[in-house]
Amino acid sequence: MKNILKSLIVLAMTLQISSVFAWGSTGHRVVAEVAERHLTKKAKKNIQKIIGKQKLAYWANWGDFIKSDPHDEFKKLGNSHFINTNPHLPWADFQLAMENSNEENLYKTVLRLEKSFSEKDLTLEKKKQNLYMLIHLIGDAHQPMHVSRAEDQGGNKIEVSWFGKKSNIHRVWDSDLIDGEKYSYTEYATVLDILSKNEVKQVQGGTLASWLYESNQLSDKIYADVELNANLSYNYIYNNIYKAENCMLRGGLRLAKILNDVFG
């Protein structure tokens, strides 16, 4: 009975967590699954030396779950999941805001994690943690409400209804849109991952900064298209689901690019 109770508590906590953080569990796993399908043989082999044969999707939500760990090492990563920006920033201003921020942010953390794997004294355990976090944060980078405004906590304070149930615009883009499609993460990865090699190469072009700016520009459009306490339903899905799906696909292809560069 105690084991059953513990399992139910863990399940409840997991469901609560998935409604708060970026993409929800499904979206992050889609990003990781798409990435795994585009790894080079060498990169996959070197990654397996760190995490074994477990799939990347298994660890895709580690970055959110570890937030509850009381150790300062993990607590200080809280700001790493997002970038606070002003609306409608020109590219040059956006780039300066990221680079000159006094606080840790998504941009700075991803760059630091990428570089960390070249450190000769990095322990295996630290390599695992850094890889788990990198997988997760590239997903966050492609959730547009994670590269948006501070005053409403990336849309968390903009309350809306989703088919009559209480939600907010951040949660809509985290999970409401994606989970409403009823795909498993592997099914979602399969139906999205249909680009040609040339198209994949185009998506993988640019830099982390330009990818984040892409998300930021989309967040401006999301803010413009929603009103406080709006009742969102089928019409919102029709107008936005393909945008969310494109974000996940791009996140997966770009995660593959990073992992191939680091481990290939």
Tell which wins on pLDDT, 145 or 23. 145
Tell which wins on pLDDT, 64 or 250. 250
Residue pair 36/263 in contact (Cβ under 8 Å)? The answer is no
The reported pTM is 0.90
Please choose, from the candidates 80, 77, 65, 71, the residue with its C-alpha nearest in 3D space to the C-alpha of residue 20. 65
> What average pLDDT score do residues 75-83 get?
81
The pLDDT, as a whole number, for residue 78 is 74
Q: Which domain holds residue 249?
A: 2-263
C-alpha pair distances (Å), 89 with each of 33, 108, 141: 32, 19, 17
Could you tell me the pLDDT band of residue 161, with boundaries at 50, 70 and 90?
Answer: very high
The DSSP string of the chain is: -HHHHHHHHHHHHHHHHHTTSTTHHHHHHHHHHHHHTT--HHHHHHHHHHHTT--GGGGTTHHHHGGG--SHHHHTTGGGG-EE--TT--HHHHHHHHHT-SS--HHHHHHHHHHHTT-TT--HHHHHHHHHHHHHHHHHHTSGGGEE-TTTTTTTTSEEEETTEEEEHHHIIIIIHHHTT---HHHHHHHH----HHHHHHHT-S-HHHHHHHHHHHHHHHHHT--TT-EE-HHHHHHHHHHHHHHHHHHHHHHHHHHHHHH-
pLDDT digits (tens, 9 = 90+) for 103-148: 889 999 999 999 999 999 999 999 999 999 999 999 999 999 999 9
**What CATH number did the domain enclosing 11 receive?**
1.10.575.10
Is the pLDDT confidence value at 11 over 70?
A: no
Q: How many domains does the chain have?
A: 1
pLDDT digits (tens, 9 = 90+) for 172-205: 999 999 999 999 999 999 999 999 999 999 999 9
> What average pLDDT score do residues 246-250 get?
99
Is the pLDDT confidence value at 52 over 60?
A: yes
